[in-house]
Structure 1
Amino acid sequence: MRCPYCGCDETQVKDSRPTEDNTAIRRRRVCNGCGGRFTTFERVQLRELSVIKRTGRRVPFDRDKLMRSVQVSLRKRPVEPERTERMVSGIVRQLESQGDSEVSAEQIGTLVMEGLKSLDDIAYIRFASVYRNFAEAKDFSDVLDELSSEDE
């Protein structure tokens, strides 16, 4: 593993532990060159996934990008990070187990919206506003009506 501080290829693992939900291994490393300490995570990857964007362009699937977009919608909301991690891990497992090496951005967005609906209504609305490309206040009203009709 390359050191993020000095770029040295010689690093040493000092500690390995499973994460809270046992979906990854957390490794504490020390650089033999500069002595810098950093953490890496190792996850199982069933297959390489490509995302087909709305424009038709294909890009490699990036779990971290998915996590960042979910975290943006959950910013300043009372949701534990472990629940967010479990939701994202579940989405990635679903995508990898479908059998296709290519998934559409719409498919990912739908799975995220389903997950956010069960986590936090406000985060769901925030994500929907970007995912569905809201243009006016009526779009927010429509999503609120959807949520309230499902609660009844």
Structure 2
Amino acid sequence: MQCPNCRHPESHVLESRSADLSRSVRRRRECLRCQERFTTYERIETIPLTVIKRDGRRESFRRSKMFHGLSQACEKTTVTPEQVKLVVEDVENLLQQRNYREITSQDLGELVLDRLGQLSEVAYIRFASVYGQFANVEDFSAILRLLEKRGEKSLRLGQASQHQDHELLR
């Protein structure tokens, strides 16, 4: 590793530790010539992903763009920046594990919505309105009906689970 101070090509590692939720290694180094100390990060190289937009254009996947969109949707909700970061990392890891390197913006939006729906219904609706390009009130009504059905389903599942728990206690 080249020293940022004197450009000497050799240094030794003073300390190593896990960073970025164990997705990288942080190394504290010291130059063998000038004794300057500096920090480096080692990450697994990922294969670039491509997002196919609605109009057919292709653009490189940018996690910062997803983080920004999610942060806006989660503004003034109970969703924390750390939770947003975890959603972005979860989606990106899922995409990296797939065998193909292209994803449509619609599929990407669905992956985000699946995770966002577990955190906040308000953030879910905000994100869906932008990603889904809502044009009128009916678009909002449709997503609200979907959320209501999902809520009724989980309520029924919860009631069934409570009934089973009650039966086990007898």
Q: Same fold judged by TM-score > 0.5?
A: yes
- Tell me how far apart the structure 1 counterparts of residues 69 and 40 of structure 2 sit (CA, whole Å): 21
Go from structure 1 to structure 2 and tell me whether the alpha carbon gap of 1:126 and 1:81 turns closer, same or farther (over 3 Å shift).
same
Relative to structure 1, is the Cα distance of residues 125 and 85 closer, same or farther in structure 2, using a 3 angstrom cutoff?
same
| Aligned residue pair count | 133
2:147 is the counterpart of 1:147: yes
* Aligned twin of 2:54: 54
Shift of 1:80: 2.1
Corresponding residue of 1:126: 126
Aligned partners of 1:134 and 1:140 also within 8 Å: yes
Q: How much identity, in percent, do the aligned residues show?
A: 37
- The alpha carbon displacement at 1:105 in A equals 0.9
Structure 2 runs not aligned, ≥5 long? 7-14, 29-38, 153-170
55 and 81 in structure 1: CA distance in 2 versus 1, 3 angstrom threshold = same
Distance 2:123 2:53 in 1: 23
Counterpart for residue 10 of structure 1 = 4
* Structure-2 separation of matches of 1:119 and 1:113: 10
Q: Which residue of 2 aligns with 1:103?
A: 103
Partner of 1:34: none
What are the superposed Cα offsets for residues 26-67 of structure 1, whole Å, 9 maximum, x if unpaired?
A: 789xxxxxxxxxx99765443111111111111111111111
Distance 1:89 1:60 in 2: 16
- Kept in 2, the 8 Å contact 1:18–1:24? The answer is yes
Structure 1 residue 23, shift from structure 2 partner: 3.4
Aligned to 2:71: 71
Normalised by the length of structure 1, the TM-score is 0.74
> Which residue identity is paired with 2:73?
S
- Name the structure where helix makes up a greater proportion of residues: 2
Rg comparison, structure with higher value:
2
